[in-house]
């Protein structure tokens, strides 16, 4: 094979090698069928819920998911296209087909990723040689997690399901959009792959959008910039119309998407320029733990792209530098980053994927140039046709060995876990069945940060096993920072470092109704054992249900970044036991309420009270002190409570003006009726929902429903898709 004249057929034969290697790395552990021990349990559980909703004739596109994080309309802010596909699979083939479906998606995305890289570089007018080299390099990269490497997806660490689906479409979207902007070709695939990338993973979609915007400015001719800009606007308009049903609600309700202080700062904000530059030089971005050969070629490729300025080399260099510098994150750029839309919603650590994508492409250019130079020095060309392939093998071989060892380690651990699971599961299964048939409230089975991570069936933590089954609301499992009340679940331990938090009122606050625990855990007095085996106990807890009458002492003017410490201290000061709550206003609460006190949070640590305008410290002078001796008032009582799919209802008798606490995360999508009349739902500490009630007997009904404007956006997206794939395919694009 002459590297200067590689045919398309020869190229496709060559990229079979990295495709097969990728499949060898990932397929065995997923085909084994072992129960997952990572966030795949979350993905499988969601898909089970979607399947059931389809079978029940309910809306699977936007619904209230009570199972995790105190309830949340997950699909409003979390890409869900493949969960819908999985739900259809579950309807056709049954619930048992859902875990294999999730695993098959991983196998296909990881296995075909080299082909995606190859096609991207081809559409960017790189030679077949460079495109093949890029395909050979991509399976062996690793930064240790959160990048495009195996660590992000395989059994031991993994679980980045949506990133896996996004990574297969992102290079294709970038490559075909390059062809559109430069040559006015490939509109349909550019549109399709961009839509799929944006609907697969928010961060990957963000990378695609900024990557293609950069393409406009890779030419210094004003006429080229204008022409490319108009084409991109045209493409963005259609992609935007198709994906608006997902992204516009994100923009509208972003302030109600939770922000977690339990996330590590590097994950949220990255590491700063010194650390990122060091990681590039020592190889930790592209090949952590190995000699940085790919990194060296990336640097050489950057110099070559700057020197030659041919084809897409200039673009790849600019894009690499852009993403590399953006990856410095907030420690370097500070508030400047807030000017970029949705930037506050992103985990900066995930931007390593963009650096890897562009870095591997530059490395492929450098390796290709080296091969062509050496090939020109070899007098016997037939030998040269084999020598260059041998050289490429030598370059990738250390990475292949490293990835083989990692995948083998995954497979062995999955085998051991499954063997232990099959041995231990029969003992706990009767307790699971009893739990699932008798529980509407939340279930506690430990937290990851404490003994819960080591409370396992085989290698599967019990809280993940409950999550995967998808039948009970699970307290304490925090897969994503979506819910405003999410972090405060963990306070079951956070406020007491010695183990169980002996506060019944805390359990009532979150409607923790059952606990499935190991037998060696010391149980609080209000945990009543209702079933047990040799190693496990199922406990009942004195629960108030999802509804409770509470006294609201005032309102707190705050946002999701400044209300965290207030809620923390509200819990620490035993306000739940005193039945004293606060309303939280993000700026859209009506003026109809007459609260005794108004607290304005200036930042996370300081506040002032309307009327005195003195700056107080939330730590040294918490606004709870004056309630320390107060005893709970008698506010009335609850007659009945009912949960019916997306609707929660109760009947109460109120003896004193108060609020009804609804132990579900606050979201503006909740619609409440009191005695048949609409009633505003407000946020109560620590991020739950509430309704103001007057004395008397009341029937209350709360229901979550998909926003009306989302239906319109969805219909608009479907119409846009049909137009692009029919009329536009023939008449709009001007394809050559």
**For the residues of 560-615, what is the DSSP string, one character each?**
TTTSHHHHHHHHHTTHHHHTEEEEEESS---TT---S-EEEESSSSEEEETTT---
- Residue boundaries of the structural domains of the chain: 26-252+268-404, 424-541, 547-704
Cα dihedral 593→594→597→598 (10° resolution)? 40
- Please list, residue by residue across 595-624, b when 16 or more beta carbons sit within 10 angstroms of its beta carbon and e when fewer do: beebbbbeebebbbeeeeeeebebeeebbb
As a whole number of angstroms, the distance between CA 161 and CA 367 comes to 32
Nearby residues of 153 by Cβ (< 8 Å), 6 or more positions away: 26, 106, 109, 110, 159, 160, 163, 164
As a whole number of angstroms, the distance between CA 136 and CA 622 comes to 59
Nearby residues of 574 by Cβ (< 8 Å), 6 or more positions away: 503, 505
Other residues' Cβ atoms within 10 Å of the Cβ of residue 640: 11
Nearby residues of 231 by Cβ (< 8 Å), 6 or more positions away: 180, 181, 184
As a whole number of angstroms, the distance between CA 290 and CA 283 comes to 7
**For the residues of 217-230, what is the DSSP string, one character each?**
GG---HHHHHHHHH
As a whole number of angstroms, the distance between CA 328 and CA 351 comes to 10
pLDDT at 423: 93
Other residues' Cβ atoms within 10 Å of the Cβ of residue 152: 24
> Cα–Cα distances in Å, from 543 out to 226, 475, 663, 695?
64, 14, 11, 24
- The answer to whether the beta carbons of residues 75 and 38 sit under 8 Å apart is no
Name the burial class of residue 231, with classes exposed (0-12), middle (13-18) and buried (19+) by CB atoms within 10 angstroms of its CB.
buried
- The answer to whether the beta carbons of residues 585 and 556 sit under 8 Å apart is yes
Residue 584: phi and psi, rounded to 5, are: -120, 125
As a whole number of angstroms, the distance between CA 144 and CA 139 comes to 14
- The answer to whether the beta carbons of residues 213 and 232 sit under 8 Å apart is yes
Sign for the pseudo-dihedral over CA of 27, 29, 34, 37: negative
Answer whether the bond into residue 22 is a cis peptide, omega within 30°. no
- The answer to whether the beta carbons of residues 673 and 700 sit under 8 Å apart is yes
- The answer to whether the beta carbons of residues 93 and 4 sit under 8 Å apart is no
Instruction: Read off the tokens for 399.
Output: 């990475």
- The answer to whether the beta carbons of residues 192 and 242 sit under 8 Å apart is no
Instruction: Read off the tokens for 314.
Output: 């200039």
**Longest CA–CA separation in the chain, Å:** 99
As a whole number of angstroms, the distance between CA 483 and CA 257 comes to 6
As a whole number of angstroms, the distance between CA 685 and CA 668 comes to 16
The 3-state secondary structure of 284-300 reads CCCECCCCCHHHHHHHH
Comparing C-alpha atoms, which of 167, 163, 176, 154 is closest to residue 113?
167
Instruction: Read off the tokens for 400.
Output: 């292949």
Q: Provide, for the chain, the percentages of residues in helix, strand and coil under a 3-state DSSP scheme, each rounded to the nearest 5.
A: 55, 15, 30
Sign for the pseudo-dihedral over CA of 486, 492, 498, 500: negative
- The answer to whether the beta carbons of residues 145 and 152 sit under 8 Å apart is yes
> Cα–Cα distances in Å, from 649 out to 543, 593, 675, 686?
16, 23, 11, 21
N-to-C CA span, the chain? 31
Q: Specify the DSSP element, H or E, that contains 698.
A: strand 696-704
Question: Taking the chain (736 residues) in consecutive chunks of 10 residues, what is each chunk's mean pLDDT?
Answer: 86 95 94 89 93 93 87 90 94 94 95 97 94 96 90 87 94 95 90 95 93 88 89 94 93 83 75 92 93 95 83 90 93 81 76 95 95 83 81 94 95 92 93 86 83 86 88 77 77 51 83 89 87 92 91 91 88 85 90 87 90 86 80 86 89 94 93 94 94 94 92 93 78 50
pLDDT at 157: 80
pLDDT at 499: 44
pLDDT at 660: 96
- The answer to whether the beta carbons of residues 580 and 692 sit under 8 Å apart is no
Other residues' Cβ atoms within 10 Å of the Cβ of residue 295: 21
Other residues' Cβ atoms within 10 Å of the Cβ of residue 549: 22
As a whole number of angstroms, the distance between CA 411 and CA 414 comes to 5
Instruction: Read off the tokens for 37.
Output: 């021990």
pLDDT at 736: 45
pLDDT at 376: 81
As a whole number of angstroms, the distance between CA 45 and CA 223 comes to 52
Instruction: Read off the tokens for 237.
Output: 């308009």
Q: Specify the DSSP element, H or E, that contains 149.
A: none
- Please list, residue by residue across 668-696, b when 16 or more beta carbons sit within 10 angstroms of its beta carbon and e when fewer do: ebbebebeeeebebbbbbbbbbbbbbeee
Angle at 125 (CA atoms; ends 123, 128), nearest 5 degrees: 90
> Cα–Cα distances in Å, from 644 out to 194, 494, 670?
39, 33, 15
pLDDT at 680: 93
As a whole number of angstroms, the distance between CA 234 and CA 190 comes to 12
pLDDT at 679: 94
Which residue shows structure tokens 């007057």? 694
pLDDT at 549: 95
As a whole number of angstroms, the distance between CA 560 and CA 585 comes to 10
The alpha carbons of the chain give a radius of gyration, in whole angstroms, of: 28
As a whole number of angstroms, the distance between CA 430 and CA 255 comes to 42
Comparing C-alpha atoms, which of 505, 619, 500, 602 is closest to residue 568?
619
As a whole number of angstroms, the distance between CA 464 and CA 448 comes to 10
- The answer to whether the beta carbons of residues 578 and 631 sit under 8 Å apart is yes
């Amino acid at each position: 094979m002459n590297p200067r004249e590689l045919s398309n057929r020869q190229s496709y034969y060559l990229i079979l090698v990295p495709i097969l290697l990728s499949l060898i790395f990932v397929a065995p552990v997923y085909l084994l069928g072992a129960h997952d021990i990572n966030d795949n349990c979350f993905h499988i559980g969601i898909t089970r819920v979607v399947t059931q909703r389809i079978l029940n004739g309910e809306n699977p596109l936007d619904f209230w998911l009570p199972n995790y994080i105190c309830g949340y309309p997950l699909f409003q802010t979390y890409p869900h296209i493949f969960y819908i596909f999985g739900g259809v699979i579950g309807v056709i083939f049954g619930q048992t087909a859902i875990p294999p479906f999730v695993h098959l998606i991983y196998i296909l995305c990881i296995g075909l990723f080299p082909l995606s890289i190859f096609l991207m570089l081809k559409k960017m007018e790189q030679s077949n040689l460079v495109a093949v080299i890029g395909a050979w390099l991509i399976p062996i990269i690793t930064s240790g997690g959160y990048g495009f490497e195996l660590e992000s997806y395989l059994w031991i660490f993994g679980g980045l399901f949506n990133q896996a689906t996004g990574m297969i479409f992102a290079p294709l979207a970038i490559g075909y959009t390059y062809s559109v902007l430069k040559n006015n070709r490939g509109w349909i695939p550019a549109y399709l792959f961009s839509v799929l990338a944006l609907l697969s993973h928010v961060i990957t979609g963000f990378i695609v959008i900024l990557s293609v915007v950069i393409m406009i400015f890779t030419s210094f001719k004003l006429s080229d910039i204008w022409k490319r800009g108009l084409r991109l606007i045209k493409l963005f308009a259609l992609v935007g119309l198709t994906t608006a049903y997902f992204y516009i609600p994100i923009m509208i309700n972003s302030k109600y998407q939770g922000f977690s202080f339990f996330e590590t700062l590097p994950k949220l904000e990255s590491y700063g320029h010194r650390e990122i530059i060091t990681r590039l030089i020592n190889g930790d971005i592209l090949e952590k733990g190995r000699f940085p050969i790919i990194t060296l070629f990336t640097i050489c490729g950057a110099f070559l792209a700057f020197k030659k300025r041919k084809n897409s080399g200039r673009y790849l260099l600019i894009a690499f530098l852009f993403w590399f510098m953006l990856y410095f994150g907030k420690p370097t750029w500070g508030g400047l980053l807030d000017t970029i839309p949705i930037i506050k919603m992103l985990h900066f650590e995930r931007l390593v994927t963009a650096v890897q994508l562009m870095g591997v492409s530059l490395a492929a250019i450098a390796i290709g140039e080296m091969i062509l130079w050496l090939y020109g020095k070899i007098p016997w060309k037939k030998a040269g046709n084999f020598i260059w392939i041998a050289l490429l093998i030598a370059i990738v071989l250390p990475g292949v060995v490293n990835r083989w060892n990692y995948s083998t380690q995954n497979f062995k651990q999955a085998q051991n876990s499954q063997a232990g699971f099959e041995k231990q599961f029969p003992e706990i299964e009767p307790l699971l069945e009893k739990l699932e048939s008798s529980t509407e409230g939340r279930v506690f089975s430990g937290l990851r940060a404490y003994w819960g991570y080591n409370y396992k069936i085989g290698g599967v933590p019990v809280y993940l096993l409950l999550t995967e089954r998808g039948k009970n609301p699970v307290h304490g499992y925090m897969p994503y920072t979506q819910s405003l009340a999410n972090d405060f679940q963990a306070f079951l331990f956070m406020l007491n470092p010695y183990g169980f938090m002996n506060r019944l009122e805390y359990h009532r606050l979150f409607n923790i109704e059952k606990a499935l625990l190991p037998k060696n855990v010391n149980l609080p007095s209000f945990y009543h054992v209702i079933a047990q085996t040799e190693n496990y106990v199922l406990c009942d807890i004195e629960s108030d249900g999802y509804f409770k009458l509470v006294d609201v002492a005032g309102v707190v003017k705050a946002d999701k970044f400044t209300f965290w410490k207030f809620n923390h201290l509200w819990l620490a000061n035993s306000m739940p036991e005193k039945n004293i709550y606060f309303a939280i206003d993000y700026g859209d609460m009506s003026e109809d309420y007459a609260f005794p006190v108004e607290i304005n949070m200036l930042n996370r640590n300081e506040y002032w009270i309307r009327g005195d305008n003195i700056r107080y410290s939330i730590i040294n002078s918490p606004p709870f002190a004056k309630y320390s001796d107060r005893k709970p008032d008698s506010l009335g009582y609850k007659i009945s409570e009912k949960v019916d799919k997306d609707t929660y209802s109760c009947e109460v008798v109120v003896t004193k003006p108060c609020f009804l606490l609804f132990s579900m995360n606050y979201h503006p999508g909740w619609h409440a009726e009191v005695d048949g009349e609409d009633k505003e739902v407000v946020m109560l500490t620590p991020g739950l929902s509430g309704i103001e009630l007057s004395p008397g007997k009341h029937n209350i009904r709360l229901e979550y429903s998909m926003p009306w404007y989302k239906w319109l956006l969805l219909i608009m997206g479907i119409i846009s898709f049909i137009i692009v794939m029919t009329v536009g395919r023939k008449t709009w694009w001007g394809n050559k």
